Amino acid sequence: MNKNTKYLIIGGAILLLLFGIYFFSSGSSSQNEPEKNEKDTTQVGKPINPTGTYLLYNLLKSYEKTISIKTIQTTDSITLKSLLPKEKVNGHPNLYINISEYFYLNYDDRNHLIDFVNEGNYAFVSSDVFATYFAQDFSDYSNFIEHYFYDTLLYVNFEHPKFRKNKPLELLNEEINFHGHPKYTIYNFFDDSKLGDSHIRISSSEGHYNCVMKAYGGGFMIVHTQPGNFSNINIATKDGKTNAENIFSHFPENNIHWHQNFGKYSEYRGIPRPKINKIPPQYSRKSPLEYIISHPALFTAFILMLIGLVIYMIVFSKRKQKIIPPIPANANSSLEFIDVVSKLYFQQKQHNKLVNHMFLIFVAFLRDKYYINISKKDPQIVTRISEKSGISEEKIKEIFTTFKKAKTNKFTEKELIELHIMLEYFYKKCN
């Protein structure tokens, strides 16, 4: 008897033992009330929705500049004009807040919001998409947004010296993939060419502005192009909270009117967990085996199943054919081919062709590992490669300079060796 047969017999015996223990064990008793030692899971706190704005709403509720806070909701019959007062409340101005995926107000509500700010009140709007007429009011253009880059996080800093940090704030994307990591998303920014001198730039990322202020009469409005920066997953972090505090510190003491959003950026905490399912009182059993024995047909089927299982283990535990020896894997000759080609180029003094292959490998490495396409013209390409790889900008500039030199001038063996050393340093030391 070989080892595999022994393992099959031992495993089958263990399964039969566990099967017998389960069927001979007593079942749950029928009671109208749960047992005393049973934990009641009905009183469980509600989970936090990572994409919502529950944390920001409650932070503003306890903010020292917040005199009062209330939620408003417009419908087809209830307009913003009937909910948002222009007059001061308790001697303080009002602040309108709207954080949503799509910012849309009808014509009358749009006009009321502009008049509301003109009367000395304030507004804060953050959205991924803005209605055309609102964009025209704010910047004289039908669209003031440009899609800048596609990444998992955002580095933000402020223009005012009071808020500017030596290290930019790191803000996360609130969505995650199946592996629990942030998804890649498109971050929207203002088109700076469509902003005038009357627009005050508040914060930016790599020179592209995501938060801008504009004065209207006695008040002003702040427009933000990335509502995800205020989601729970960011406000729960130090950088996310600092970002929100810096922006809302621009407003004086006020009465907040928070426009309710029942979509992605809802201010509600989350969906409560379902309550515990209690066993119906009419259901009762002492043992599954007792129920099977009480029915002759079921008992006969049970015995035949056990006999069949034993016969199967005895008959099929033996190997049906001889052991097939493993087929050796095909040898990978790619490295040998590369070595032969490179030596051929080197011996024939065709350094330019060898440098061309080295450049293609370098381009593919940057694209696959850092999602950087150097074929597109980008004045910040060296800085981006340095930030993601951890290699100094000087060494990266030296690599690009050497590649450029190889295309214009006659490339010597010494320069080829120096280029090889620089690339090996980059591949080994990069993040």
- What the block records as the tokens of 159 is 């223009």
- Predicted TM-score (pTM) of this structure: 0.54
Rounded Cα–Cα distance for residues 346 and 358 (Å): 13
Question: Among candidates 279, 287, 284, 293, which has minimal Cα distance to 26?
Answer: 287
Return mean pLDDT, the chain.
82
Give yes or no for residue 199 having a pLDDT over 90: yes
Amino acid at residue number 57? Y
Rounded Cα–Cα distance for residues 140 and 25 (Å): 78
Q: Name the band, by pLDDT with cuts 50, 70 and 90, for residue 282.
A: low
Give yes or no for residue 64 having a pLDDT over 90: yes
| More confident site: 401 or 331 | 401
Give yes or no for residue 250 having a pLDDT over 80: yes
Residue 272 has what pLDDT? 44
- Using DSSP's 3-state secondary structure scheme, residue 322 falls into coil
DSSP letter for each residue of 122-189:
EEEEEEEEE-HHHHHHHHSSS--EEEEEEESEEEEEESSTTT--SS-EEEE-S-B-TTSSBPPEEEEE
Amino acid at residue number 110? R
Give yes or no for residue 179 having a pLDDT over 50: yes
Q: Work out the average pLDDT over 250-274.
A: 83
Percent of the chain with pLDDT over 90: 39
Which residue ranges make up each domain of the chain? 3-29+287-316, 54-259, 337-429
Residue 373 has what pLDDT? 86
Residue 276 has what pLDDT? 46
Task: Name the range with the highest mean pLDDT among 21-30, 55-64, 338-347.
Answer: 55-64
Give yes or no for residue 140 having a pLDDT over 50: yes
Q: Name the band, by pLDDT with cuts 50, 70 and 90, for residue 347.
A: low
CA 173, 234, 117 angle in degrees (round to 5)? Answer: 100
Give yes or no for residue 169 having a pLDDT over 80: yes
Q: Work out the average pLDDT over 80-102.
A: 94
Q: Which of 27-36, 98-107, 133-142 is the least confident region?
A: 27-36
Q: Work out the average pLDDT over 255-280.
A: 73
DSSP letter for each residue of 333-347:
-HHHHHHHHHHHHHH
Q: Work out the average pLDDT over 219-240.
A: 94
Residue 299 has what pLDDT? 86
Residue 91 has what pLDDT? 93
Q: Work out the average pLDDT over 67-83.
A: 93
CATH of domain 54-259: 3.40.50
Residue 331 has what pLDDT? 65
